[in-house]
Chain A
Amino acid sequence: MRINDVILRTVVRFVVFIILTLAIYLFFAGHYSPGGGFIGGLVIASAFVLLYVTFDIEKVKKGIPVDFKKVAALGVFLAVGTGFGSVLFGVDFLTQAAKKFHIPLLGEKELGTVMLFELGVALTVVGVVMTIIVSIAEGDGD
Protein backbone atom coordinates (compact mmCIF):
# COMPACT_ATOMS: atom_id res chain seq x y z
CA MET A 1 0.00 0.00 0.00
CA ARG A 2 1.99 2.95 -1.22
CA ILE A 3 0.42 6.29 -1.62
CA ASN A 4 2.50 9.10 -2.94
CA ASP A 5 0.62 12.07 -1.79
CA VAL A 6 2.75 14.76 -0.22
CA ILE A 7 -0.10 17.01 0.81
CA LEU A 8 -1.97 14.21 2.49
CA ARG A 9 1.14 13.09 4.35
CA THR A 10 2.01 16.53 5.55
CA VAL A 11 -1.52 17.22 6.72
CA VAL A 12 -1.83 13.87 8.42
CA ARG A 13 1.36 14.46 10.41
CA PHE A 14 -0.33 17.42 12.08
CA VAL A 15 -3.84 16.11 12.17
CA VAL A 16 -2.88 12.93 13.97
CA PHE A 17 -1.62 14.89 16.94
CA ILE A 18 -4.75 16.96 17.03
CA ILE A 19 -6.82 13.83 16.95
CA LEU A 20 -4.80 12.22 19.71
CA THR A 21 -5.15 15.32 21.88
CA LEU A 22 -8.88 15.26 21.23
CA ALA A 23 -8.94 11.58 22.15
CA ILE A 24 -7.27 12.21 25.47
CA TYR A 25 -9.63 15.07 26.16
CA LEU A 26 -12.63 12.92 25.30
CA PHE A 27 -11.37 10.15 27.49
CA PHE A 28 -11.04 12.33 30.57
CA ALA A 29 -14.13 14.36 29.85
CA GLY A 30 -16.26 11.25 29.72
CA HIS A 31 -17.56 11.56 33.20
CA TYR A 32 -19.11 14.96 32.73
CA SER A 33 -19.63 15.54 29.04
CA PRO A 34 -19.69 13.33 25.95
CA GLY A 35 -16.72 11.01 25.77
CA GLY A 36 -15.34 8.15 27.80
CA GLY A 37 -13.46 4.95 27.36
CA PHE A 38 -15.09 3.71 24.20
CA ILE A 39 -14.97 6.97 22.36
CA GLY A 40 -11.49 7.82 23.57
CA GLY A 41 -10.22 4.44 22.50
CA LEU A 42 -11.94 4.65 19.14
CA VAL A 43 -10.58 8.09 18.40
CA ILE A 44 -7.05 6.99 19.24
CA ALA A 45 -7.55 3.97 17.03
CA SER A 46 -8.85 6.10 14.19
CA ALA A 47 -5.78 8.31 14.46
CA PHE A 48 -3.58 5.27 14.05
CA VAL A 49 -5.71 4.01 11.19
CA LEU A 50 -5.21 7.31 9.48
CA LEU A 51 -1.47 6.88 9.85
CA TYR A 52 -1.62 3.38 8.41
CA VAL A 53 -3.74 4.48 5.51
CA THR A 54 -1.44 7.36 4.68
CA PHE A 55 1.97 5.87 5.27
CA ASP A 56 3.62 2.56 4.71
CA ILE A 57 2.84 -0.15 7.23
CA GLU A 58 6.49 -0.87 7.92
CA LYS A 59 7.20 2.77 8.47
CA VAL A 60 4.41 3.22 10.98
CA LYS A 61 5.45 0.05 12.74
CA LYS A 62 8.88 1.52 13.26
CA GLY A 63 7.36 4.73 14.51
CA ILE A 64 4.94 3.09 16.93
CA PRO A 65 6.66 -0.08 18.12
CA VAL A 66 3.69 -1.32 20.09
CA ASP A 67 2.25 -4.80 20.06
CA PHE A 68 -1.45 -4.04 19.95
CA LYS A 69 -2.41 -7.54 21.05
CA LYS A 70 -0.67 -6.85 24.33
CA VAL A 71 -2.43 -3.52 24.60
CA ALA A 72 -5.77 -5.29 24.23
CA ALA A 73 -4.80 -7.90 26.79
CA LEU A 74 -3.67 -5.22 29.22
CA GLY A 75 -6.98 -3.45 28.73
CA VAL A 76 -9.05 -6.51 29.48
CA PHE A 77 -6.84 -7.20 32.46
CA LEU A 78 -7.40 -3.69 33.79
CA ALA A 79 -11.16 -3.82 33.26
CA VAL A 80 -11.56 -7.19 34.91
CA GLY A 81 -8.95 -6.34 37.52
CA THR A 82 -10.86 -3.28 38.70
CA GLY A 83 -13.78 -5.59 39.28
CA PHE A 84 -11.78 -7.95 41.39
CA GLY A 85 -10.04 -5.07 43.11
CA SER A 86 -13.32 -4.03 44.68
CA VAL A 87 -13.81 -7.61 45.88
CA LEU A 88 -10.48 -7.35 47.69
CA PHE A 89 -11.85 -4.39 49.62
CA GLY A 90 -14.85 -6.38 50.68
CA VAL A 91 -17.47 -4.77 48.48
CA ASP A 92 -19.39 -6.24 45.57
CA PHE A 93 -17.72 -7.07 42.29
CA LEU A 94 -17.11 -3.99 40.16
CA THR A 95 -18.13 -1.46 42.79
CA GLN A 96 -16.42 1.77 41.82
CA ALA A 97 -14.85 4.11 44.31
CA ALA A 98 -13.96 7.77 43.76
CA LYS A 99 -12.29 10.55 45.60
CA LYS A 100 -11.85 14.23 44.91
CA PHE A 101 -8.34 15.56 44.47
CA HIS A 102 -7.08 19.04 44.06
CA ILE A 103 -4.76 19.10 41.12
CA PRO A 104 -2.87 22.25 40.24
CA LEU A 105 -4.05 24.02 37.09
CA LEU A 106 -7.02 21.70 36.65
CA GLY A 107 -8.66 22.47 39.95
CA GLU A 108 -10.96 20.18 41.82
CA LYS A 109 -11.01 16.83 40.01
CA GLU A 110 -12.47 13.52 40.86
CA LEU A 111 -10.32 10.44 40.37
CA GLY A 112 -11.69 7.00 40.90
CA THR A 113 -11.42 3.39 40.04
CA VAL A 114 -13.93 4.08 37.31
CA MET A 115 -11.06 5.86 35.58
CA LEU A 116 -9.01 2.67 35.68
CA PHE A 117 -11.96 0.76 34.34
CA GLU A 118 -12.44 3.23 31.52
CA LEU A 119 -8.74 3.08 30.80
CA GLY A 120 -9.06 -0.67 30.47
CA VAL A 121 -11.96 -0.24 28.06
CA ALA A 122 -10.05 2.33 26.02
CA LEU A 123 -6.92 0.21 25.82
CA THR A 124 -8.95 -2.81 24.74
CA VAL A 125 -10.69 -0.85 22.03
CA VAL A 126 -7.43 0.56 20.69
CA GLY A 127 -5.72 -2.81 20.93
CA VAL A 128 -8.46 -4.78 19.24
CA VAL A 129 -9.21 -2.31 16.46
CA MET A 130 -5.54 -1.97 15.63
CA THR A 131 -4.93 -5.72 15.85
CA ILE A 132 -7.71 -6.30 13.37
CA ILE A 133 -6.65 -3.59 10.95
CA VAL A 134 -2.94 -4.40 11.09
CA SER A 135 -3.55 -8.14 10.76
CA ILE A 136 -5.69 -7.65 7.70
CA ALA A 137 -3.36 -5.10 6.16
CA GLU A 138 -0.27 -7.24 6.42
CA GLY A 139 -2.09 -10.54 6.41
CA ASP A 140 -1.54 -11.50 2.78
CA GLY A 141 0.99 -14.17 3.53
CA ASP A 142 0.40 -16.37 0.54
Chain B
Amino acid sequence: METLMILLIGVLVSVATYLVLSRNVIRVILGTAVLSHAVHLLILTIGEVKKGEAPLLGNQTADGPYTDALPQALILTAIVISFAVTAFVLVLAFRAYKTNGTDDLEKLRGDEYD
Protein backbone atom coordinates (compact mmCIF):
# COMPACT_ATOMS: atom_id res chain seq x y z
CA MET B 1 0.00 0.00 0.00
CA GLU B 2 2.72 2.41 1.02
CA THR B 3 4.66 1.78 -2.17
CA LEU B 4 1.57 2.40 -4.22
CA MET B 5 0.93 5.63 -2.34
CA ILE B 6 4.49 6.75 -2.87
CA LEU B 7 4.20 6.13 -6.58
CA LEU B 8 1.04 8.25 -6.62
CA ILE B 9 2.91 10.94 -4.69
CA GLY B 10 5.67 10.80 -7.29
CA VAL B 11 3.14 11.39 -10.06
CA LEU B 12 1.58 14.27 -8.14
CA VAL B 13 4.96 15.86 -7.49
CA SER B 14 5.94 15.58 -11.14
CA VAL B 15 2.70 17.18 -12.25
CA ALA B 16 3.09 19.91 -9.64
CA THR B 17 6.65 20.64 -10.71
CA TYR B 18 5.66 20.86 -14.35
CA LEU B 19 2.85 23.25 -13.47
CA VAL B 20 5.12 25.39 -11.33
CA LEU B 21 7.51 25.73 -14.26
CA SER B 22 4.88 27.12 -16.62
CA ARG B 23 4.39 30.71 -17.62
CA ASN B 24 0.78 31.12 -16.64
CA VAL B 25 0.25 32.39 -13.15
CA ILE B 26 -2.82 30.25 -12.47
CA ARG B 27 -1.02 27.10 -13.53
CA VAL B 28 1.76 27.93 -11.08
CA ILE B 29 -0.74 28.39 -8.26
CA LEU B 30 -2.49 25.14 -9.16
CA GLY B 31 0.95 23.56 -9.12
CA THR B 32 1.57 24.65 -5.56
CA ALA B 33 -1.88 23.38 -4.58
CA VAL B 34 -1.13 19.95 -6.05
CA LEU B 35 2.28 20.00 -4.41
CA SER B 36 0.75 20.55 -0.98
CA HIS B 37 -1.67 17.69 -1.63
CA ALA B 38 1.28 15.47 -2.43
CA VAL B 39 3.11 16.51 0.71
CA HIS B 40 0.10 15.87 2.93
CA LEU B 41 -0.21 12.39 1.53
CA LEU B 42 3.52 11.88 1.90
CA ILE B 43 3.56 12.80 5.59
CA LEU B 44 0.71 10.43 6.26
CA THR B 45 2.26 7.60 4.28
CA ILE B 46 5.66 7.93 5.92
CA GLY B 47 3.91 7.65 9.29
CA GLU B 48 2.88 4.12 8.27
CA VAL B 49 -0.70 3.51 7.31
CA LYS B 50 -3.28 0.97 8.34
CA LYS B 51 -1.44 0.00 11.48
CA GLY B 52 -4.32 0.56 13.82
CA GLU B 53 -7.54 2.28 14.65
CA ALA B 54 -8.32 5.97 14.32
CA PRO B 55 -6.60 7.87 17.11
CA LEU B 56 -9.67 8.21 19.28
CA LEU B 57 -9.13 6.81 22.75
CA GLY B 58 -11.73 4.62 24.36
CA ASN B 59 -13.79 4.12 21.24
CA GLN B 60 -16.25 1.33 21.63
CA THR B 61 -15.09 -0.38 18.46
CA ALA B 62 -11.46 -0.73 19.36
CA ASP B 63 -8.98 -0.17 22.14
CA GLY B 64 -5.66 0.24 20.45
CA PRO B 65 -3.35 -0.03 18.64
CA TYR B 66 -3.90 3.39 17.07
CA THR B 67 -2.51 4.96 13.97
CA ASP B 68 0.16 7.55 14.56
CA ALA B 69 -1.59 10.77 15.56
CA LEU B 70 1.36 13.11 15.22
CA PRO B 71 1.47 13.19 11.39
CA GLN B 72 -2.25 13.76 11.41
CA ALA B 73 -1.88 16.80 13.64
CA LEU B 74 0.89 18.09 11.42
CA ILE B 75 -1.19 17.62 8.30
CA LEU B 76 -4.20 19.31 9.85
CA THR B 77 -2.07 22.37 10.47
CA ALA B 78 -0.57 22.13 7.01
CA ILE B 79 -3.95 21.93 5.29
CA VAL B 80 -5.18 25.11 6.87
CA ILE B 81 -1.94 26.97 6.24
CA SER B 82 -1.80 25.86 2.62
CA PHE B 83 -5.36 27.07 2.21
CA ALA B 84 -4.35 30.48 3.55
CA VAL B 85 -1.31 30.61 1.31
CA THR B 86 -3.27 29.55 -1.77
CA ALA B 87 -5.83 32.25 -1.10
CA PHE B 88 -3.11 34.82 -0.63
CA VAL B 89 -1.27 33.87 -3.81
CA LEU B 90 -4.48 33.77 -5.80
CA VAL B 91 -5.38 37.28 -4.77
CA LEU B 92 -1.82 38.36 -5.44
CA ALA B 93 -2.11 36.92 -8.93
CA PHE B 94 -5.33 38.66 -9.80
CA ARG B 95 -4.11 41.90 -8.26
CA ALA B 96 -0.98 41.65 -10.39
CA TYR B 97 -3.12 41.00 -13.43
CA LYS B 98 -5.24 44.07 -12.66
CA THR B 99 -2.16 46.25 -12.26
CA ASN B 100 0.03 44.92 -15.05
CA GLY B 101 -2.51 43.59 -17.47
CA THR B 102 -0.89 40.22 -17.96
CA ASP B 103 -0.89 36.82 -16.36
CA ASP B 104 2.27 35.76 -18.14
CA LEU B 105 5.11 35.43 -15.69
CA GLU B 106 7.73 36.01 -18.37
CA LYS B 107 6.25 39.46 -18.89
CA LEU B 108 6.13 40.13 -15.15
CA ARG B 109 9.89 40.22 -14.73
CA GLY B 110 10.03 43.83 -13.72
CA ASP B 111 12.70 46.21 -14.95
CA GLU B 112 16.14 46.83 -13.59
CA TYR B 113 15.25 49.45 -11.02
CA ASP B 114 12.25 47.77 -9.49
Binding site for B on A (CB under 8 A): 32-34, 38, 42, 125, 128-129, 132, 135-136, 142
Contact = CB atoms under 8 A, between A and B. Distances in A.
B87 interface: yes
A132 B91 contact: yes
A132 B87 contact: yes
Interface of B: 54, 56, 76, 80, 83-84, 87, 90-91, 98
Contact of A128 (B54, B84, B98): B84
- Main SS of chain B's interface residues? helix
A32 B56 contact: yes
Nearest to A125: B80
A142 B97 CA distance: 13
B98 A136 contact: no
Contacts of A132: 87, 91
10 contacts: A32-B56, A34-B54, A34-B56, A38-B80, A125-B80, A128-B84, A129-B83, A135-B91, A136-B90, A142-B98
B21 to A, nearest CB: 27
Nearest to A132: B87
A129 B84 CA distance: 8
Contacts of B90: 136
Contact of A136 (B80, B83, B91): B91
A127 to B, nearest CB: 12
Contacts of B83: 129
Contacts of B87: 132
A66 B89 CA distance: 26
B56 A38 contact: no
A103 B80 CA distance: 33
Contacts of B56: 32-34
B100 to A, nearest CB: 14
A38 B84 contact: no
A33 B61 CA distance: 13
